[in-house]
Structure 1
Amino acid sequence: MSIVERIEGDGDVLILCDHASNHVPADIDLGIDPALLDRHIAIDIGAAAVSRGLAARLGAPAVLATVSRLVIDLNRETDALGLIPHASDGHAIPGNDGADRAERIARFHAPYHRTIAAQVRTQRPALIVSVHSFTPALESGIAAPRPWEAGILYNRDARAARLAVDWLAAQGIVTGDNEPYSGRLLNATMNRHAEATGTPYLGIEIRNDLISSDAGVTMWCEILGNLVTFVRNPLAQGRPAAT
């Protein structure tokens, strides 16, 4: 199985989805109840469908991961503690206790990021859009329920993020500004392929109960298509967004 799913397109936006799949290769035993692979700990529920739909709507190329975040989290630096999780939202992942870290990086993490880097070099996108989803409430109960419908994450480069937060809020969408968690702490893919190359980006989080159905995916593809167009145009032209 390929490490990535690639969608071809000739648009100037690049769409990425780090947690698109709950696939666990047959030679890896996580030691968990298979039912957990359908939970948010294994996959960003709805994110792959939104990424594919958004790519189709924009005519944009896309790169989607094809391995579960429980095997390796592709949105983490290779030296991050949570790169190969031993527990997630209160669930132990005992099969990862003896995992060969270097082997998983070489097998999954490195080729995924090489693919993205090559796409960025070739395409030189005007905007990179990273699509994620989040659970309304953690099962472990260590945090309060999350009221946001969507969140925009960013680290140092907030050019696109500030436009997006204001636009979403103006549509009546309850929007988190670096919520449900901060892009200053968890932003590895965007740090590497957007901030490091000077490319504007949107780190988008959608509450997963809103994109768990075909109707929800369709609605959010329309919302995000309009958002991306609004954000991309002024950035590409080097001027502030119209109000």
Structure 2
Amino acid sequence: MSVVERIAGDADVLILCDHASNHVPGDIDLGIDPALLDKHIAIDIGAAAVSRGLSERLGAPALLATVSRLVIDLNREVDAPGLIPHVSDGHAIPGNERVDRAERIARFHTAYHRAIAAQVRAQRPALIVSVHSFTPALESGIAVPRPWEAGILYNRDARAARLAVDWLAGQGIVTGDNEPYSGRLLNATMNRHAEETGTPYLGIEIRNDCISDPTGVARWCEILANLVTFVRDHLAQERAAAT
């Protein structure tokens, strides 16, 4: 099984979804209650459906990961402590305690990021869009409700992010600016494939109760299609004015 689901498209936007799947390969035993695979610790709920719908609306290529982040978190650097989690939001993952770390990295992480790098080289997208979702509140610790409907994450390159935060707020959407967590800390895929290549990007987080059913998915596909088009066109105008 490939580590990447590929959707073809001709647009100058590339859509990525690091946490699209809760699949655990048959030869891997995480040692957990299977019910946990339906929780946010295993998958970004709704993110795959939004990514596919956005790809269809924009005619844009998309790459979606096909393995659960409980197996390996593809949006982490290879030396990150949480790359192969032993605990996630208070739930123990005992099957990850004695894994061959190098083998799992090579099998999933390296293959996934190699596919993205090849796509970026071939396509040279004007904008990369990374789709994630977040839970309304964490289960462990102090479960403070998260008020944002969406968040835009970024690290050093805020070109697209600044436009997106203002645009979403202008639509009456409660929007987090580097919330519910900061892209300066959790931005591995965009750091590698966007910031290192000089490609503008949108790191989009949607609260998962907003996209947990087809109606919510459709609404957010429309919102994001309009957002991405606005940001891409605005950046193109800025480039043209600078030449």
TM-score by length of 2: 0.97
Alignment of 1:104-183 (within 5 A): 104-183=104-183
Q: Which amino acid letter does the alignment assign opposite residue 70 of structure 1? A: L
Q: Which residue of 2 aligns with 1:67?
A: 67
* Superposed displacement of residue 239, structure 1: 5.1
Cα offset for 1:240?
9.8
Unaligned stretches of 5+ residues in structure 1 = none
Q: How far apart are residue 141 of structure 1 and its match? A: 3.3
Q: Provide, for residues 56-99 of structure 1, a one-character-per-residue CA deviation record: whole Å limited to 9, x for no partner.
A: 00000000000000000000000000000000000000000001
Q: Could you give the per-residue CA deviations for residues 157-202 of structure 1, whole angstroms, max 9, x where no partner exists?
A: 0000000000000000000000000000000000000000000000
Cα deviation for residue 234 of structure 1 reads 1.6
Counterpart residue identity of residue 62, structure 1: A
Are 1:17 and 1:51, in contact at CA under 8 Å, matched by a contact in 2? yes
Match of residue 224 from structure 1? 224
Correspondence 1:187 to 2:218: no
Q: How many residues align?
A: 241
Aligned to 2:102: 102
- Report sequence identity in percent: 87
- TM-fit CA distance, 1:41: 0.1
Aligned-residue offset at 1:237: 2.9
**1:89 matches 2:89:** yes
- Other structure's SS at 2:202 match: strand
Alignment RMSD: 1.2
CA-to-partner distance for each residue in 1:200-229, whole Å, 9 max, x for gaps? 000000000000000000000000000000
Listed one character per residue, the Cα deviations across residues 90-112 of structure 1 (whole Å, up to 9, x for unaligned) are 00000000011100100000010
Alignment correspondent of 2:20: 20
Alpha-carbon distance in 2 for matches of 1:85, 1:238:
42
Matches within 5 A, 1:192-203: 192-203=192-203
The runs of at least 4 aligned residues of structure 1 exceeding 3 Å deviation read: none
Unaligned runs of 5+ in 2: none
CA distance in 2, matches of 1:77, 1:191: 10
Alignment check: 8 A CA contact 1:234 1:240 kept: no
Number of the residue aligned with 1:40: 40
Is contact 1:16-1:129 (8 Å) kept? yes
Instruction: Return the alpha-carbon distance in structure 1 between the equivalents of residues 238 and 121 of structure 2.
Output: 21
| TM-score, normalised by the number of residues in structure 1 | 0.97
Corresponding residue SS for 1:194: helix
Which amino acid is 2:144 matched to? Answer: A
Deviation at 1:145, TM superposition (A): 1.1
Question: 3-state DSSP class of the match of 1:152?
Answer: strand
Q: Which amino acid aligns with 2:123?
A: Q
Q: Which position in structure 2 is the counterpart of 1:215?
A: 215
Cα 1:43–1:240 shift into 2, 3 Å:
farther
Matched residue of 1:238: which SS?
helix
| CA deviation after TM superposition for structure 1 residue 117, in Å | 0.2
Give the Cα separation in 2 of the matches to 1:165 and 1:16.
19
